[in-house]
Structure 1
């Protein structure tokens, strides 16, 4: 197979010598994977996703979430999107991240991590002016992204260290 590919490449190179350079990687440079780029102000995310409909069930989710790896909008704990006894977040974490999912819960401003059959609340990457989280958005203060926290989250994802750093894991019973 490799010799066939090489002969086809050589034949193409004879006919199109200028274009063959684009096919070959001359200076391979690989960027590290990155999570989504989030807006500075949490209100931007909240306003955009708060009344958005799910693409699977076409309803407005009670607990909306966004995958921070690919940006997919999902219903957290939504029985409406359940497939093969898996709720949408668990199924998405299997399809998108081989069992690892990182979701921003829109109505809580909290990150939830799914790893296999377990989950944990990671915390929030959005903080108020005093550097405090506002879980479940109860205080109503404006929230702004903490770039340092987001870098930590991204580094834990890239280095696969969620299991070692986060100690409060619990079973999700395929219900997320």
Structure 2
């Protein structure tokens, strides 16, 4: 029962955090004590007055639909029994402020299979892993889908190192969200050969996080094989 209550507290704390009902600091330990605090807040045993009106209905609807999709997934039982369980906030890792730093760290990375310079590189903003893939050794679209399945339950957010665009992957589908890195004047730079310094746009990053948390994207998704070109 204690373990079940701890898992329940994690789900509830995650929901409250995303709905801005009760925001937890990064690194906050969610355990049995958290469950007791949540129970007190729900039952009105302290000064915190809980009201369903505090929760936007659209967010509750999206959250419950996501949970039902996980439960209906054929691999749900297998994943539920996997150890160790990893609890990660439903948000994105903030990349470097300067795009040049990311490029320099990745440009000389080699493909694990052939040891040649990778033709396709993607930085996962969920786990921070840099995927170094060569088109001769790998099916790029399948690799992205596989990582999305392992890292984000079929959903992942990548920064493409080559074209500097954000790539959203949902299962076998994908779409380019837009630019995170802009020039000093706040403009997008589409010329891939340009040496203009690019910096992380805080406004764009906030918008990306909002879209990611709500899973609400104003972009058209297509088969990944149509997006990934040589």
TM-score, scaled relative to structure 1: 0.72
Return 5+ residue gaps in structure 1 as ranges: 6-21
Please report how far the alpha carbon of residue 79 of structure 1 lies from its aligned counterpart in structure 2 after TM superposition. Answer: 4.5
Tell me which protein shows more helix as a share of its residues: 2
Matches within 5 A, 1:64-83: 64-75=121-132, 78-82=135-139
- CA contact 2:165–2:178 (8 Å) conserved in 1: yes
- Which one of the candidate residues 149, 152, 155 is aligned to 1:97? 152
Range with bigger deviation, 90-99 or 141-150: 90-99
- CA contact 2:117–2:134 (8 Å) conserved in 1: no
Please report how far the alpha carbon of residue 76 of structure 1 lies from its aligned counterpart in structure 2 after TM superposition. Answer: 5.7
Whether 2:145 is the aligned partner of 1:138: answer no
Structure 1 distance, partners of 2:196, 2:152, is 33
Whether 2:38 is the aligned partner of 1:25: answer no
Whether 2:119 is the aligned partner of 1:62: answer yes
Deviations 1:102-128 (A, max 9, x none): 111112111111112221111110000
Range with bigger deviation, 140-149 or 48-57: 48-57
Structure 1 distance, partners of 2:184, 2:174, is 29
Structure 1 distance, partners of 2:145, 2:30, is 38
- CA contact 1:90–1:175 (8 Å) conserved in 2: no
- Which one of the candidate residues 151, 164, 170 is aligned to 1:109? 164
Whether 2:91 is the aligned partner of 1:39: answer no
Please report how far the alpha carbon of residue 152 of structure 1 lies from its aligned counterpart in structure 2 after TM superposition. Answer: 1.1
Which residue of structure 2 lines up, in the alignment, with residue 87 of structure 1? 142
Change (3 A) 1:78 1:95: farther
Which residue of structure 2 lines up, in the alignment, with residue 50 of structure 1? 107
Range with bigger deviation, 73-82 or 147-156: 73-82
Return 5+ residue gaps in structure 2 as ranges: 5-28, 39-86
Whether 2:215 is the aligned partner of 1:160: answer yes
- CA contact 2:111–2:133 (8 Å) conserved in 1: no
Structure 2 distance, partners of 1:35, 1:23, is 19
Whether 2:129 is the aligned partner of 1:122: answer no
- CA contact 2:120–2:134 (8 Å) conserved in 1: yes
- CA contact 1:103–1:112 (8 Å) conserved in 2: yes
TM-align CA RMSD: 3.2
Change (3 A) 1:113 1:57: farther
